[in-house]
Amino acid sequence: MVSAKISPLAGKPATESQPVDVAALLAAYHDLKPEPSVPEQRVVFGTSGHRGSSFDRSFNEWHVLAVVQAICEYRAKDGVDGPVFVGIDTHALSGPAFESTLEVLAGNGVQTRISAGGEFTPTPAVSHAILVHNRGRESGRADGIVITPSHNPPESGGIKYNPPHGGPADTDATSWIAARANALIEGGLREVKRLPFAQARKAGTTHEFDFLQRYVGDLDDVLDLEIIRAKGVRMGVDPLGGAGVHYWSAIGERYGLNLTVVSETVDPTFSFMSLDWDGRVRMDPSSSFAMQRLIGLKDKFDVAFACDTDHDRHGVVAPSSGLMQANHYLSAAAWYLFQNRPGWRADAAIGKTAVSTALLDRIAGHLGRPLREVPVGFKYFVAGLYDGSLGFGCEESAGASFLAKDASAWSTDKDGIVAALLAGEMTARLGKDPGELYSDITKQLGDPANARIDAPANHAQKTKLSKLAPEQVTSKTLAGDPIVEVTNKAGGQPIGGIKVISANGWFAARPSGTEDIYKVYGESFRGKEHLQTILAEAQAMVDRALSD
């Protein structure tokens, strides 16, 4: 990011900042109630569920009770009568939120599957469990709830819903659930059915399920783990104290891999992290500031990787290049997968979000594969991953998933574990690390420079930007090249902004969903100076359109 102000603490140990007061955070979860008239305290489902902090009254007991009651009513309305698989990450607020969730599920008589032995459960393990359960079923279909705010700071909490297709819920579902949850809160939770936690835990509807063994046991369906073992690839992994913390050693043992788990520490303050760009603790595996511990180990392994707290995102460290930019690794992964998965359909597409690198477009063209471009949000890849028409779906924020080797659906949600382990498979088969592979690809197809800048925008301007029409962009050139397309859609769906494309570069501008800024993503195949011109012209074009 160009305009973000990098904190002087960025990249330094988190112990240099004040750790979150976990006891106060947990007390606030139970003691503070949301005020429905305050927009920031209402239930709002973003791209990955409802998130907030108990300190801000945006993620408290009332929110979770209401959301889960709304999910129970939604699944009943939708005819989902099988079990609900419940996942949980290692954030401090996830513990009490799990208890609230179970109380409501039991109160509603919903068959519930929770992890055996109180093990943490990554998002992809929940998605995979749903898909396996539902295979070939017309009735008794399962769905899932994952309690996680993803990579967000330690004071955050979150809850998301995955319908029977296993992936993130679409807007139809989340809008209904959020509206119903807010109505329940406004009604003082009188319509929420719940049992005390001790009773809910022992209820006849509550059953333990071994997510870890199911997921780890099936991994060779999606990856060639045998070649990693045979070639003795030295892999290092940092789970960043997240939900997959015990999955890695189980994977290494089961498949005989040379896999070193750098740390199995779980600490709700996440004090073992290095601070992110803004001086806050954030478990973002694609941030070089947050990934200092693993970057420091790059020369000890043939390839190393990390995942965020619910293990749906990945970061890959290659000896040749250090921490790979998300766009770089995703390009290498797409290039490799579509040449090493003979069981996939010949017309299986490469999927990318509208703000992901255009190198993926060039890779698709080079390999003779369809390209499917979608708005930001992994939910747009679900149908394709479910029916096998999409081999690989990815977004520039280091989220990806891909089909099993036989072209069946593996996980229709982002899977940081398989994306990370794929780096080991690539290294084993090609005899080079993913950074070297990326370098080879760019020599053939062009080496893009990309960046994102954030510019201030008030609520009215953000609304205007989200509704901008292509004809409002009157420029005919972009950084000296003729503009070939101006669009506000991807895959027929609005992107909530505008995208301008030339033969050698592009930019996309869209408002932030959480801050008073708009984001400009830009890319150039003619180098960094050309990129700066694209970004400057992009900002001028957007500012002109907003002032009209």
First to last CA, the chain: 27
Tokens matching residue 203: 């209820």
Pairing of strands 371-374, 349-353: parallel
Tokens matching residue 348: 């299986």
Pairing of strands 314-318, 206-209: unpaired
How far is the C-alpha of 10 from the C-alpha of 451, rounded, in Å?
A: 19
Pick from 278, 272, 240, 271: nearest CA to 10: 278
Q: Is the dihedral of CA 2, 3, 6, 11 positive or negative?
A: negative
Place of tokens 């930001």: 376
Tokens matching residue 23: 């006891």
CA 481 to chain centre: 34
- State the Rg of the chain over Cα: 23
Is the CB of residue 318 less than 8 Å from the CB of residue 298?
yes
Is the CB of residue 87 less than 8 Å from the CB of residue 123?
yes
Q: Is 482 helix (H, G, I), strand (E, B) or coil?
A: strand
Tokens matching residue 352: 């990318």
Question: What amino acid is encoded at 152 in this protein?
Answer: N
User: What DSSP state is assigned to residue 540?
Assistant: H
Tokens matching residue 104: 């409501």
Is the CB of residue 283 less than 8 Å from the CB of residue 315?
no
Tokens matching residue 168: 């993130």
Is the CB of residue 220 less than 8 Å from the CB of residue 255?
yes
Q: Is the dihedral of CA 290, 293, 294, 299 positive or negative?
A: positive
Is the CB of residue 422 less than 8 Å from the CB of residue 337?
yes
User: What DSSP state is assigned to residue 170?
Assistant: P
DSSP assignment of 24-40? HHHHHHHH----TTSGG
Q: Which CA distances in Å does 73 have to 66, 79, 149, 173, 200?
A: 11, 10, 23, 11, 18
How far is the C-alpha of 101 from the C-alpha of 176, rounded, in Å?
A: 18
Tell me the Ramachandran region of residue 426: left when phi exceeds 0, alpha when psi lies from -120 to 50, beta otherwise.
Answer: alpha
Q: What is the set of active-site residues?
A: 150
Length of the chain, in residues:
548
Is the CB of residue 204 less than 8 Å from the CB of residue 398?
no
